A and B are shown apart, each in its own frame.
Chain A
Amino acid sequence: EDQVTQSPEALRLQEGESSSLNCSYTVSGLRGLFWYRQDPGKGPEFLFTLYSAGEEKEKERLKATLTKKESFLHITAPKPEDSATYLCAPRGNDYKLSFGAGTTVTVRA
């Protein structure tokens, strides 16, 4: 069965204090690892898709990287508007997304 573990569960950062979120996964036949951002009471918002180990993608202050067993989401010099829950979801051979529990990031001004 696919397993996804995100750590830490919660992260409190000072504005400008960079950090990384971890997503460890076990899935049969990875067909992409997806990162989403979710604000309270809203649907997840797509951020990145990574397909192969060594791949990196960037968007503003966010950079996602992928290895064979983990993905990292690096937040560089975060701002309060980066506060959200970040979800990772690998997709396996069955084309289903398996979501982790998420990391809730709070950035204080």
Chain B
Amino acid sequence: KAGVTQTPRYLIKTRGQQVTLSCSPISGHRSVSWYQQTPGQGLQFLFEYFSETQRNKGNFPGRFSGRQFSNSRSEMNVSTLELGDSALYLCASTSFSGTDTQYFGPGTRLTVL
């Protein structure tokens, strides 16, 4: 079974731009969660989508948004990029069918210049 995939793997943007990251969950998984990982703050929860609805949200500004499509694929968008948004963005998928383990993708490394 293929794992969680994320595209692109690397991105370089400049301040003020916006960016869209994509995540394809494991086949059959309906929940996708997004995390930001930085050396100073560690892994921080952004939001979770289940069946196209945002179910949970972390403490991030409104510049961070996401959505989920009917095939469970998810995208997250960051508008008006700031230098502090440079991070590894991880997505994780869950089946919620008996086992509720989150399986992570390889991440997208975003650098904001």
To the question of whether A and B form a pair in one complex, the answer is: yes
Using a Cβ cutoff of 8 Å, how many contacts connect chains A and B?
51
**Interface bits B83-113 vs A (CB < 8 Å: 1, else 0):** 0000010101000000111111111010000
Question: A54 at interface (Cβ–Cβ under 8 A)?
Answer: no
Surface stretch bound by A, among B41-49, B62-70, B71-79: B41-49
- What is the size category of the interface that chain B forms with chain A? 20 to 34
Chain B facing A: main interface SS: strand
Q: Give the size of the chain A interface in residues (CB under 8 angstroms).
A: 23
Q: Which residues of A contact B44 (CB under 8 A)?
A: 99
Tell me whether B100 and A97 are in contact (CB under 8 A). Answer: no
A41-B109, A42-B107 are contacts. A34–B56 as well, Cβ < 8 Å? no
- Interfacial residues, chain B to chain A (CB-CB below 8 A): 4, 33, 35, 42-45, 48, 55-56, 58, 88, 90, 92, 99-107, 109
Nearest 9 A/B pairs, CB to CB: A43-B104, A99-B43, A101-B42, A44-B104, A43-B106, A43-B107, A43-B105, A96-B56, A43-B90
